[in-house]
Amino acid sequence: MKTRITELFGIQYPIIQGGMQWVGRAEMAAAVSNAGGLGMLTALTQPTPEALRQEIARCREMTDKPFGVNITILPTSTPPPYEEYAQVIIDSGVKIVETAGRNPQAFIPGFHAHGIKVIHKCTSVRFALKAEAIGCDAVSVDGFECAGHPGEDDVTNLILLPVAAAKLSIPMVASGGIGNGQQMAAAFALGAEGVNMGTRFVATQEAPVHEAVKRRMVEATERDTTLIFRSLNNTGRVINNDIARQVLEIEARPGDTDFSEIQPLVAGNRGRERVIEQGATDDGLMWGGMVVGLINDIPTCAELIERMVAEARETVRQNLIALS
């Protein structure tokens, strides 16, 4: 499976694990990279740049394959020290960065000066073209189906991917809603040269989350996600649990949403402690996408990736042959 994405990142299969807050730790990234995909540490999961330095070292002990680091540039009044996190990535010799959120332009020259390839994850064609214009090496295009922040346009990948592919020159990775090889084949048919997954990788043996989180993803159907923070223009797709419903109730009240009312419900540390570590899947935000409807087991990353590759090939032979 040779594409511009496998060539760019030096990986066997064009399957990427996107940055995931609290999940994108060394165990996760190394498992994906060892299986022939591209694992990604999540910079802001580490409380300090120094902790990220140690996590990168830990990941290196677990794999000799390429892995990347995600930097999510958040719209926040008290930003983390992004420059210092970026410097740690450079100093540690990591050669792949996934940026997400706000415009990563300020970081690109520094990364490129050190031979670091940058893939920017974005949710619209205009942002993808902007990423290309500022020198990103590739883009991940995240459709409305995705976990996390799908943006405010509500365009699903069946439309978003081919529109973006027709306009982009740099390679494009399809992200959002993908969990099996049939979908991977479909994404390639729409112009992608790789796929990026979040939710599907949470329900794997190696994902460093409580078993109850993985089981909940297996039990959930495609109707079990919801969109929060719409009233704040910062839409997030999460599993429709008790906390999400409380947030939606507050957002539905007349007038502007007061974030201070929502804050204790959605606090990142609450999600980490209650959901990810303790498995109380209704007591904090649980990020997840519509692909939960296709998740029926908890394989190892190697089993998942090998199965996807086999399914994709089978799809081309069995389902797409009639079109040739």
Ligand X SMILES: Cc1cc2nc3c(=O)[nH]c(=O)nc-3n(C[C@H](O)[C@H](O)[C@H](O)COP(=O)(O)O)c2cc1C
197 near ligand X, rule: CB under 6 A: yes
89 near ligand X, rule: CB under 6 A: no
Q: How far is the CB of 28 from ligand X (least distance, A)?
A: 10
The residue type found at 239 is I
Q: How far is the CB of 140 from ligand X (least distance, A)?
A: 7
Pick between residue 140 and residue 323 the one whose CB is nearest to ligand X. Answer: 140
Q: How far is CA 93 from CA 56, 68, 83, in A?
A: 9, 10, 16
Q: Please, what sign has the CA dihedral across residues 293, 296, 300, 303?
A: negative
Q: Which stretch binds ligand X (CB under 6 A): 7-15, 109-117, 125-133, 140-148?
A: 140-148
Q: How far is the CB of 242 from ligand X (least distance, A)?
A: 17
Q: Which stretch binds ligand X (CB under 6 A): 56-64, 111-119, 142-150, 250-258?
A: 142-150
Take residue 322 and report the two structure tokens written for it. 């009639």
Question: How much of the chain is helix, strand and coil, in % rounded to 5?
Answer: 45, 15, 40
20 near ligand X, rule: CB under 6 A: yes
Please identify which residue in 33, 157, 175, 225 interacts with ligand X, judged by CB under 6 A.
175
How many CB atoms neighbour CB 64 within 10 A?
10
Please state, in angstroms and rounded to a whole number, the distance separating the CA atoms of residues 213 and 225: 14
146 near ligand X, rule: CB under 6 A: yes
Site string for ligand X, 224-263 (x = CB under 6 A): ----------------------------------------
21 near ligand X, rule: CB under 6 A: yes
Site string for ligand X, 100-129 (x = CB under 6 A): x--------------------x--------
Pick between residue 64 and residue 84 the one whose CB is nearest to ligand X. Answer: 84
217 near ligand X, rule: CB under 6 A: no
Take residue 39 and report the two structure tokens written for it. 């694992």
Please state, in angstroms and rounded to a whole number, the distance separating the CA atoms of residues 234 and 300: 33
Pick between residue 199 and residue 240 the one whose CB is nearest to ligand X. Answer: 199
Please identify which residue in 265, 287, 298, 305 interacts with ligand X, judged by CB under 6 A.
287
Q: Which stretch binds ligand X (CB under 6 A): 19-27, 55-63, 257-265, 305-313?
A: 19-27
The vertex-320 CA angle with 323 and 36, nearest 5°, equals: 145
Please identify which residue in 5, 15, 23, 185 interacts with ligand X, judged by CB under 6 A.
23
Given the rule CB under 6 A, which residues bind ligand X?
18-21, 23, 42, 70, 72, 100, 121, 142, 145-148, 175-178, 196-200, 202, 287-289, 291
